[in-house]
Amino acid sequence: MSAVLRPSAPPQVETPLRRFASQFAESRLALVGLVVFVAIVLAALLAPWLAPQNPYDLAQLDIMDGRLPPGSVGASGMVHWLGTDDQGRDMLSGILYGLRISLMVGAGSALVAALVGASLGMLAAYAGGRTDTLIMRLVDLQLSFPAILAALMILAFLGKGILNVVIALVVVEWAYYARTVRGSALVERRREYIEAAQCLALPTGRIIFRHLLPNVLPPLIVVGTMQVARAIALEATLSFLGLGVPITEPSLGLLIANGYEYMLSGKYWISFYPGIALLLTIVSINLVGDQLRDVINPRLQK
């Protein structure tokens, strides 16, 4: 649909990055997703400067400001654009800070899980035999177990806290990376360039990291993006169930849980706005991820 040749545009040197960018931009939806995602990340990073209140500082909250509807003015003269929750926490500030936690937990757990999963997957593919069997049965075991149940059990054992949530998410997610990486590494391993490297008697570590890894990276990136979204959703679920973050430092899931009891009495904003923020975050990441998959996957290449 979109023209590859634009007569007005000056002739450009086609670098791989530029090609990638133009292919990515072919989907308007993905672009919108990217813009929203970048905006959300910026908002989260700049939360301490953007937020009118530090929602984690108990001294700044006042229960006398509790459950104010959007647009109300609190006792301190602050305008609560998105209302307040039952503790008098400004919802806008709560959401901005909550996004920080959600993104941090999502990205952090996805990164660690990718490291662990990719290493194990690569090891399984390269070593083969018993190592392969052992690792892949572990993966099967992990994948056959509902993620939320596994995470709940781990948190029940470790206790609450952001770090523990990250650990739990890593434990339930590494298997996805391991399986993906092993699949593509198995294919790559039989390619001539690996054989060539082996003939040159290069050390195994070097073959794996310098030759194999770059070639299994694309599927890893795609799975990674999707898993970030999944990790954010899982963290929200855990917090909603009261097992994630401490109640005085709510993430999006806990903010939603706080307002859930007030839904029946018409105080919609306590759950609604954090819900919208969570929805936007996950949808935008998924849109970007979908398009990444289409662009990176050579088999879908036009």
Partner 1 sequence: MGECAWTARGCAAAALVLAGFATASGQSLTLGVGAPVTSLDPHYHQLSPNTAVAEMVFGALTQTDAKARIIPDLAESWRAIDETTWEFRLRRGVRFHNGSDFTAEDVAFTLERVPNVPNSPSSYAIYTRPIREVQILDPYTIRFRTAAPYPLMPRDIAQVKMLDRQTHAQATTEQFNAGIMAIGTGPFRVSSHRNGERIEFERFDGYYGTQPHWQRATLRMITNDAARTAALLAGDVDIIDQVPTSDLAKLRTDQRLSVAEVTGLRIIFLSFDHSRVEATPFVTDNDGKPISPNPLKDPRVRRALSLAIDRAAITERIMEGSAIPSAQFLPESGFGYVPTLNPAKADPEAARRLLAEAGFLQGFRITLHGPNDRYPNDSRIIQAVGQMWTRIGVRTTIEAQPWATFISRAARQDLSSFLIGWGTSGEGTNPLRNLVATFDRDKGYGASNRGRYSNPRVDALTDAAMREIDDTKREAIIREATIIAMDDTAIAPLHIQRNAWAMRRGLALDARVDELTRAQDVTPTGPAR
Distance in angstroms (rounded) separating the CA atoms of residues 290 and 284: 10
3-state class percentages of the chain: helix first, strand second, coil last, to nearest 5: 70, 0, 25
Q: Of 79, 141, 187, 263, which one interacts with partner 1 (CB under 8 A)?
A: 263
- Decide: is 64 part of the binding site for partner 1 (CB under 8 A): yes
Cβ(178)–Cβ(121) below 8 Å:
yes
Site for partner 1 in 142-181 (CB under 8 A): 160
Please pick, from the candidates 66, 70, 183, 218, the single residue that binds partner 1 as defined by CB under 8 A: 66
Q: Does 286 bind partner 1 (CB under 8 A)?
A: no
3-state secondary structure (DSSP) of residue 73 = strand
Q: Which residues pair with 84 in a beta bridge?
A: 90
- CA torsion sign, 216 to 219 to 221 to 224? negative
Q: Is 76 in the site for partner 1 (CB under 8 A)?
A: no
**Hey, which residues between 266 and 285 contact partner 1 (CB under 8 A)?**
266-267
Structural element, H or E, at residue 80: strand 79-80
Nearer residue to partner 1 within complex by CB, 87 or 102: 87
Part of the chain binding partner 1 (CB under 8 A), chosen from 55-63, 72-80, 132-140, 210-218: 55-63
CB of 172 to partner 1, least distance (A): 22
Q: Which of 59, 199, 201, 300 binds partner 1 (CB under 8 A)?
A: 59
Residue 75 binds partner 1, judged by CB under 8 A: no
Nearest partner of 233 among 267, 295, 171, 280, judged by Cα: 280
Return the sign of the alpha-carbon dihedral for residues 128, 220, 164, 159: negative
Residues 122-141 that bind partner 1 (CB under 8 A): none
Footprint of partner 1 (CB under 8 A):
57-59, 61-64, 66, 86-88, 160, 242, 246-248, 260-267
